[in-house]
Structure 1
Amino acid sequence: MTIQDRHDILTRLIDLASADTYYHDLYRQRASFYLQQELSQDAYHAYKKMKIQKGALPNQIRNAILQKDWQTVKELTEQDKKMRSELQRRAESVVFAEKIYEPVDVAIDPFSPGMHTLVGLTMGRLKELHRKTVVSLQKLSEKDNDWRGFYQQRLEVFNTLSISDASIDDEEQFVPEVVLEEEAEEALESGNMARLEQLAEKILEGKNDDGQPTSEQLLADKHQHPDDFLYQFSPAVIERAAQFGLSHYQVAENSQEYAPLSRFAWHPTFTDVEDREPHVLQVPDIPFDDNTPEALKARIQMFAVHPFINSSGVRFLPHMVAEDLLVEDFPEPEAGGVFPDGGLLKFLGLNQRSLLDRQTIEAALLAHGNTFVEQELGLDPRQFKLVCIPADLHLRIGQDRGWGQQKIWTHFDGYMVMEAGRRRALAGGDVRYGGIYDLLGISRNYSSERIITRFAVVQRKRLAVWQNGL
């Protein structure tokens, strides 16, 4: 393989990690495999160290000149020449290394329903990204024989993904103002002034009508639940998992109980609906049952106000269907109690279960999670993923196991997306703030002895939200 071919593969893998975020970790893993052939991670760290050392040479040379130590001047200038040559030789590889070896936030999946605007894409640009993604998968299936099956499988998924424009000329159909604004931007870029005039008129008409969609219009897009996530783990897998403190658990189906509330999940138009007071978000009234706990009401309202993503960058919408998984099901320790240790923490390179911020946890999962799933459990990382326990699974398992009765929070998989794309890591379960129903967003660099980690091996398909349409 030529260097040019390798760099083309690396470029496409890096792009796919941001476009097809569902498998961002596997794309980065494959990119690391190819980059190791010309610049290992250790060599990259040595490069960064050399760059710092070279930056300090001018001052060292200046001091040697002031002391008239010409032998040292000669040696340092020779060293500078060698370093400059080595840094230049590695420069092209380092561009890739910075994107592959350095910690990076998983991108927001642009193809998740309603999420493309959060990453700054109009519908037209989303279509172009879709086209480029298909091309990259096609090229990689031709050049990377060992992973051809994987690329072809993803290609099938993207070929069945349809991205449909809103029928903005249909007088009977409500179209969110944000969609009209996207169309207006594209009309301006293409120089279609007649179209831009039509769109401006339609936006003004909407403002004259207070721009308020009806509840039926707001809630027209309902999340479709899968049937279930049942899976029969082999006895050998269950036995190996037990050695790392993971137990098999089958969660019962609760989707019918929560299905009526799923239509209240965040919708892009909610952020455009303001109350009489400026900048005050108006959340649709949610018809809670009289017996609904206050903490559960608050949790559901959070899903109405904010978009959530999981650790794959895909929009997180709780399914609440029957599901099989492997989970650390230890009891929550009382105040002053000992947090359970285990081989899994050691495998991930984590020294303790508490005092870990989310950035540290995610870095450990990215570095070692797929290796654990494949080598220690014998499962396919294309089908399973090691994650912090998802909030909906913590709720349902915790109701059986008595979690949420201590003054501790647990890290949950995923993030709450705030204004300007800022993220807060999901956590919850503190008895002081609602117990098992407690859910909040914390800073990704926040750690405390009262925030613990609880890991689970879940089926990847629970992390997917779109299949055949957008």
Structure 2
Amino acid sequence: MPALRSRIVEELTALEQSDVPWREFYAGRRAAFQTRAPIDWDAAPTSGVASTSPDSVREAAAQALKAGDMKALAQLADLMPTGTPGASESRHGAPTATIQTPQQASQDLVASWSSDTLTHAQQLGLGARHLEPRGDLASLRQYAWSPFSDESRLTNIKQVTLPSGSPDGLRDRVEVLMIHPLANSGGARHLPMFVAEDVLVEDFPDPKDGEQPPSSPLLATLELSRRRGLTREAIERALLTHGTRVLEKELGLDPRVFRLVCIPSDVHFRLGEKEGWGRQPCWTHFDGYLVRTVDGRPRLQALAGGDVRYGGLYDLAGVGRDYDSDMVAW
């Protein structure tokens, strides 16, 4: 691990010097790696708690979670301390990068769009929407999957208290979050925050059964010929190739702050009632992936949902990244 970190720091330093417009971005990433506490990977999965510090185990678990190494997470979970650290550990433990827990507060994601951005967004088929915070839904984050969760939590979905007036479909969606870890297309964990948020979204209604979803200037800009029958691999490739240019040149937005992605599942869920989504027999591509473990190895399945036959707005599923059925639209 020290050798790998040194290599990463060297490459980020080179990028910092050669790519002037993105210098601050690479400098921030380099500083993050340089200040991380060292990890003893050899000791963490096999040694007992007595010979492995809690901080080292937490750090190793954070790295395993980011890498999608579920086998290592299971081993590390057995090494996690069950009690509150003593005063000596709290004062003298080495500084570590902590795992963000579902209960930690999140900042609002609000933006003030310029008139030029709104004009160009409209030309691309994007509309501005503001999402109000939903503290009642955010409280459900405490039930989200964790590598340190007791397996008994998987059987307790019926005991989860939902916000007053919630339909039964919400329970099915929470169950998915309890059983599986989710990751966004940037590689970070996806855990819906339900904070105040401003977004630019394609706001056309779901196509009725037998209808073709509308084309748009955005689709043409991404060099995608259709909406149905696209694999997630093709969509992600188009976004990776053209996304930064669309943000910077077309919308006048900083690509270090904003990203062009498939609609996130929580944004679709929160806007869907007003927009009339989730009422047709088709899936919508959502940003991110559902992580399954097959034969001890992580497998990513593209997130999709919104099919009225499987729960409408509360429908959340994982499909193969090469799945190209006409039943999934983007």
The equivalent residue for 1:249 is 129
Whether the 8 Å contact between 1:250 and 1:324 is mirrored in structure 2 is yes
Q: Tell me which of 147, 155, 161 is aligned to 1:288.
A: 161
TM-score (norm 2): 0.76
1:349 matched to 2:219: no
Q: Return the letter of the residue paired with 1:307.
A: P
Q: CA deviation at 1:222?
A: 3.6
Task: Supply the distance in 2 between the matched residues of 1:413 and 1:146 (Cα, whole angstroms).
Answer: 27
The equivalent residue for 1:429 is 306
The equivalent residue for 1:438 is 315
3-state secondary structure, aligned to 1:325? strand
Whether the 8 Å contact between 1:283 and 1:304 is mirrored in structure 2 is no
Task: Supply the distance in 1 between the matched residues of 2:203 and 2:38 (Cα, whole angstroms).
Answer: 41
The equivalent residue for 1:240 is 120
**Superposition map of 1:76-91 within 5 A:** none
1:230 matched to 2:110: yes
Q: Tell me which of 250, 257, 264 is aligned to 1:390.
A: 264
Q: Return the letter of the residue paired with 1:347.
A: T
Task: Supply the distance in 1 between the matched residues of 2:276 and 2:34 (Cα, whole angstroms).
Answer: 45
1:303 matched to 2:184: no
Whether the 8 Å contact between 2:102 and 2:191 is mirrored in structure 1 is no
Task: Supply the distance in 1 between the matched residues of 2:284 and 2:38 (Cα, whole angstroms).
Answer: 37
Q: Tell me which of 272, 284, 294 is aligned to 1:410.
A: 284
1:264 matched to 2:137: no
The equivalent residue for 1:325 is 199
What do you get for the CA RMSD once the two structures are aligned? 3.6
Q: Tell me which of 225, 231, 236 is aligned to 1:362.
A: 236
The equivalent residue for 1:468 is none
Task: Supply the distance in 2 between the matched residues of 1:337 and 1:345 (Cα, whole angstroms).
Answer: 18
The equivalent residue for 1:465 is none
Whether the 8 Å contact between 1:429 and 1:438 is mirrored in structure 2 is yes
The equivalent residue for 2:30 is 155
**Superposition map of 1:20-419 within 5 A:** 125=1, 129-145=4-20, 147-159=22-34, 161=36, 168-169=49-50, 221-254=101-134, 256-270=135-149, 282-283=154-155, 285=157, 286-289=159-162, 291-419=165-293
Task: Supply the distance in 2 between the matched residues of 1:176 and 1:287 (Cα, whole angstroms).
Answer: 30
Q: CA deviation at 1:174?
A: 12
Task: Supply the distance in 1 between the matched residues of 2:290 and 2:29 (Cα, whole angstroms).
Answer: 27
3-state secondary structure, aligned to 2:24? helix
Q: CA deviation at 1:344?
A: 0.8
The answer for unaligned runs of 5 or more in structure 1 is: 1-124, 183-199, 276-280, 454-470
Inter-CA distance 131–399: structure 2 relative to 1 (3 Å threshold) = farther
Task: Supply the distance in 2 between the matched residues of 1:399 and 1:160 (Cα, whole angstroms).
Answer: 45
Q: CA deviation at 1:298?
A: 1.7
Q: Return the letter of the residue paired with 2:142.
A: R
3-state secondary structure, aligned to 1:423? strand
Q: Return the letter of the residue paired with 2:284.
A: T
Whether the 8 Å contact between 1:288 and 1:297 is mirrored in structure 2 is no
3-state secondary structure, aligned to 1:258? helix
The equivalent residue for 1:452 is 329
Deviations 1:395-437 (A, max 9, x none): 0011221211111110000000111111110000011111101
Task: Supply the distance in 1 between the matched residues of 2:100 and 2:123 (Cα, whole angstroms).
Answer: 47
Q: Return the letter of the residue paired with 1:442.
A: V
Task: Supply the distance in 2 between the matched residues of 1:436 and 1:228 (Cα, whole angstroms).
Answer: 23
Inter-CA distance 355–140: structure 2 relative to 1 (3 Å threshold) = closer
Structure 1 stretches of 4+ moved >6 Å: 163-167, 173-177
Whether the 8 Å contact between 2:154 and 2:178 is mirrored in structure 1 is no
Task: Supply the distance in 1 between the matched residues of 2:38 and 2:184 (Cα, whole angstroms).
Answer: 22
Identity of aligned residues (%): 40
Inter-CA distance 334–130: structure 2 relative to 1 (3 Å threshold) = same
Q: CA deviation at 1:264?
A: 1.8
Task: Supply the distance in 1 between the matched residues of 2:266 and 2:273 (Cα, whole angstroms).
Answer: 11
Q: CA deviation at 1:291?
A: 4.5
Task: Supply the distance in 1 between the matched residues of 2:269 and 2:241 (Cα, whole angstroms).
Answer: 28
Whether the 8 Å contact between 1:308 and 1:315 is mirrored in structure 2 is yes
The count of aligned residue pairs is 290
Inter-CA distance 220–168: structure 2 relative to 1 (3 Å threshold) = farther
Q: CA deviation at 1:141?
A: 2.4
Q: CA deviation at 1:366?
A: 1.2
More helix by share: 1
